[in-house]
Amino acid sequence: MATVHIQKRKRKNRNSYVLYYKDPASSKLKYFKTFQRQKDAQQAANDLRTLIDTGKGSEIEKNKAKINFMIFSEVSAQLELDWKTRLERGDLRQKTVCEYLYMLNSLKRIFGKKLLCEISEEDILTYRSSVASEFSNVTSNRYLFIIKQVFKQGTATRAALGDPADSINYLSEKGQERNSFLLPSRLDRLVDASLETRAKFYLPSLIYLGAEHGASKQEALSLKWKDIDFGYEGQGLIKFFRTKNSRERIEYLMPRTKTALLEWRDHLNIMRHKGRIVAPKTEFVFSKMDGKPIKRFDKAWRAACKISGLQNFHFHDLRHTFCSNLLLSGSGLKDVKEMIGHSDLAMTDRYSHLTLSHKRLQQTKLAEYYAHSG
């Protein structure tokens, strides 16, 4: 019979009951769960003994194998090693691996201490629904993808003989595309608000790069000073590279973007001079004093949005702001496609309704012209 025992822990207000089990594979004693009531702990102990002794009933008998008892975090660690190996081989990109690891860490906070074979389809469906309601179907599907990868790894190492995630479909993302954008006055308020945050020295530059050049977060944070020529034809030139579609684009610097970037560079130079810090040879535009790149600015972004009164506005929406205002100022869809770096005009077509707004503006001007003529 499987070795499972309950350890009673005395607390000031009430006791707790910690459940341990002996791993059949390693013979090591492992932590399972903590319960507030002895009755619940005893029931869980009985269920765990059955699970270890018989596995999953007919499925175990059919496969004639024992489960390799591993918790979600242990299987996740194996998956992390696999991703890093694929990154070194060039099969995965750095940005992709970083996103995978970020989502995996979030999942470990939910399922981390659970045995993989203990997680049910209902558990996954409940989590999927909670993420979809709090964020979006798109975000929910991304997390579901990671859960599926964990279970694939788990079935390969017999941490689970069944895959409850396999039969769960992704939620429909139709109608989930975001088209939020800011008109000039709201953009000005967002920039002013950014000056009240802890990131006041560099956040305005990031906002202008998104709104005036359509830069994604990845494009902006991966910029290096060598990608910017402030003196080109008296206006300046900037080069972006988007890893998502491997497209490079070069644009003239917009005046406000240029000013904000120069102010940020001056601030870096002053602070490094005061701290006697030698700037690194390969220098990221958005970096700390020691040259290490800034990877996240979520708190500062949320603070700026809150101060300016924006709700549910993402940094990526600045790309929509760029495209939308290009059209409203008179550009065509093909112009927007080239400037934003879309590989297909169909991706730009979501902004087609704004061409009508521009036409209406021009027709209004024409009507005023006729009204005042003759």
The fraction of the chain above a pLDDT of 90, given in percent, is 37
Cα–Cα distance for residue pair 19/31, rounded to 1 Å: 6
In the prediction, which pLDDT does 123 show?
92
Contact criterion met (CB below 8 Å) for 337 and 348: yes
What's the order of all strands across the beta sheet hosting 247-252?
A: 228-229, 237-242, 247-252
In the prediction, which pLDDT does 50 show?
72
Write the pLDDT tens digit of every residue in 239-249.
998 776 677 88
Q: Report residue 174's pLDDT band, with 50, 70 and 90 as the boundaries.
A: low
Compute how many other C-beta atoms are within 10 angstroms of the C-beta atom of residue 192.
Answer: 13
Please report how the helices 72-89 and 94-111 are oriented relative to each other, as an axis angle in degrees rounded to 10: 180
pLDDT over 80 at 354, yes or no? no
* DSSP tag of 115: B
Q: Which amino acid is at 71?
A: I
Write the pLDDT tens digit of every residue in 209-221.
999 999 989 899 9
Helical ranges in the chain per DSSP H: 38-54, 58-63, 72-89, 94-111, 121-134, 137-156, 184-194, 203-213, 217-221, 255-274, 298-308, 317-328, 333-340, 345-348, 353-371
Compute how many other C-beta atoms are within 10 angstroms of the C-beta atom of residue 143.
Answer: 20
Write the pLDDT tens digit of every residue in 50-77.
766 655 433 433 343 456 778 899 999 9
User: How far apart, in Å, do the first and last CA atoms of the chain sit?
Assistant: 102
Higher per-residue pLDDT: 321 or 3: 321
Q: Which of 113-117, 192-196, 362-366 has the lowest mean pLDDT?
A: 362-366
Torsion of CA 268, 222, 315, 106, to 10 degrees: -110
Q: Which span out of 100-114, 121-135, 256-270 was modeled with the highest average pLDDT?
A: 256-270
* DSSP tag of 350: G
In the prediction, which pLDDT does 41 show?
79
Contact criterion met (CB below 8 Å) for 253 and 238: yes
Q: Which two tokens stand for residue 314?
A: 């993402």
Query: Partners of 240 in the beta sheet?
Result: 249
User: Cβ neighbours of residue 114 under 8 Å, at least 6 residues apart?
Assistant: 71, 72
User: Cβ neighbours of residue 42 under 8 Å, at least 6 residues apart?
Assistant: 6
Contact criterion met (CB below 8 Å) for 260 and 208: yes
* DSSP tag of 344: S
pLDDT over 80 at 361, yes or no? no
Backbone angles phi, psi at 126, to 5 degrees: -65, -45
* DSSP tag of 71: B
Contact criterion met (CB below 8 Å) for 75 and 154: yes
Cα–Cα distance for residue pair 162/372, rounded to 1 Å: 77
pTM, 2 dp: 0.53
Q: Which amino acid is at 173?
A: E
Of 232, 297, 230, the residue nearest 259 (C-alpha): 230
Cα–Cα distance for residue pair 320/1, rounded to 1 Å: 62
